[in-house]
Structure 1
Amino acid sequence: MSDLPTDLKYASSHEWVRDNGDGTVTVGISDFAQEQLGDVVFVELPEVGREVEAGEEFSVVESVKAASDIYAPVGGEVIEANEQLDDSPELINESPFGDGWICKIRMSDAAELAKLMDAEAYAKAVSEG
């Protein structure tokens, strides 16, 4: 597995969260998750304005192998979806921690970030399978 960005938080369901420092977070799936999926061919983006709860399914990533539900790692309002993924879903494979982000959420409870894993804990969880 490639090096995990240490500035991110991770959910056990393989989503990552970048704290944007303004009450919003950017969400995507980890490099491990995209490797498991294989070539991504479609992303069902969450609807802007949708309220989500932590742990709620809010997106779907489809690959040549399977479709996988994506879960909100924190609760709040979806304020932006990465529309680049409509035309270029492969960005999730090419840049899972960069251009392949899925959405941005305005958090309803910033304390939920503390419940997520840091890079070291996530790497350990993945290696233990």
Structure 2
Amino acid sequence: MIFISKFMVPKGYTGITLYPFIFLKKKHYKKNKILINHEKIHLRQQLELLIFPFYVIYGLDYLVKLIVYKNHLIAYKNISFEREAYQNESNLNYLKNRKLWAFTKYLKQQFFLYFLL
């Protein structure tokens, strides 16, 4: 279910997914198939992790990346869940072919960062 709300979407972002809802900052973003696909990938990730653990892992992943990269945008773009969504957002068939727990591939790719601290 998609809602338009400039109050729910953080400044500098176009949308946010909070299971089971997608919030978009502006109405015309509903027509952006790539953005909607990106947010639907997050819905699938959240569902696979039974919602709450997704947010815990997402937050911890962001904090570690922020310490490593010392830059909010770089840290955000390197969150494992965001990497999966950004790398596959243009593939509008991705969710049809996506394997269960596909996000773990992106967790494994950067797992070594946790040991740098």
TM-score, length of structure 1 as denominator length = 0.25
Structure 1 or 2: more helix by fraction = 2
Identify which of structures 1 and 2 has the higher relative contact order when contacts are C-alpha pairs closer than 8 Å and 6+ apart: 1
Structure 1 or 2: more strand by fraction = 1
Which has the greater radius of gyration? 2
TM-score, length of structure 2 as denominator length = 0.27
